[in-house]
Amino acid sequence: MDTHKVGSDTTVLADSLEIPGIGHIPVNAYVLTAKEPVVVDTGLSLSDRDFVAAVGDVMDLADVRWIWLTHPDRDHTGGIFDLLVAAPRARVVTTFIGAGIMTTERPLPMDRVYFLNPGQSLDVGDRELHAFRPPLFDNPATVGFYDEKTRICFSSDCFGGPMPTMEMAESGHASDLKPEELRQAQLLWATVDSPWVHVVDAEKYRATVQPLREINPDIVLSTHLPPAVRMTDRMLETITMAPDSDPFVGPDQAALERMLASFEPGGIPAAT
CB count in 10 Å sphere of residue 166: 17
CATH of 2-263, one of 2.60.120.280, 1.10.510.10, 3.40.50.300, 3.60.15.10: 3.60.15.10
Tens digits of residue pLDDT in 194-218? 999 999 999 999 999 999 999 999 9
Q: Is the pLDDT of residue 269 over 80?
A: no
E strand or H helix at 205: helix 202-207
- Quote the CA–CA distance of 85 and 62 in Å, as a whole number: 10
pLDDT at 270: 53
Closest C-alpha to 91, from 80, 103, 102, 100: 80
Q: Residue 137 gets which letter from DSSP?
A: -
**DSSP strand pairing (219-222 vs 228-229):** antiparallel
Tens digits of residue pLDDT in 165-198? 999 999 999 999 999 999 999 999 999 999 999 9
User: Do the beta carbons of residue 52 and residue 251 sit within 8 Å?
Assistant: no
pLDDT at 62: 97
pLDDT at 148: 93
The residue ranges of every structural domain in the chain are 2-263
Q: Is the pLDDT of residue 265 over 60?
A: yes
pTM across the whole model: 0.94
- Quote the CA–CA distance of 140 and 125 in Å, as a whole number: 29
